[in-house]
Amino acid sequence: MDIVIPLFKLYEPLDAVGPYELLANVPGARVHFVAPEPGRIADVLGAMKVDVRTRYSEIESCDVLLVPGGAGARLMLNDTEFIDWVRRIHETTRFTTSVCTGALILGQAGLLKGLTVTTHWMAMDDLETFGATYTAERVVRNGKILTSAGVSAGIDLALELCALLSDEVTARAIQLFTEYDPQPPFDSGSLAKATPEVVARARELAAGG
């Protein structure tokens, strides 16, 4: 069972590492990181550099494609070779998935047209330019396409994938093994729950302020 996660310059680290932690525990699963070119790929925060040995074009098929987001995802929208590869790989997958603004890549590949999907709330307008309809749900499934909201929502998506790829008991066991039992000290993790002050500050932080 091959699970492929493409990394690119300025990827969002938790988008990739969160799902990787869960999916790597699915019996029989093999997780592969791929990149535009073999080498060291730096995340959007700058401190996490991952050595990736495989070019994405070397992968011709997989069971699961998981596309992370981050500032780099927007840059990849202009890489026609990569977008063509995503479209081609989608034809082979059991599940094609995205975390955060990785949904924009699926949209650019023409995979989301007419679907109701999710992404990071700051990218909702961009998402709809691809003919998709945005919803604030944390994880949305359309057949074999699964999208998740921003960053941490990728863990929820991965947990759902664990059940789809194995069974619910195994997924629950992986949840227990990783002690994924969110109990945040604040309740402002979605746009609907955040105050205007928090939303404004989030936008400042996203802009580097």
Among 100, 109, 117, 159, the one annotated catalytic: 100
Active site residue 62: no
Name the E strands within 81-201. 95-99, 116-117, 133-134, 139-142, 145-148
Q: What six digits make up the tokens of 136?
A: 């604030």
Reference 92, options 180, 184, 4; nearest CA is: 4
What is the rounded (10 degree) CA torsion for 30, 31, 34, 40?
-120
Going from the C-alpha of 135 to that of each of 41, 68, 112, 120, 199, the distances in angstroms are 31, 18, 13, 10, 18
Residues tagged active-site: 100
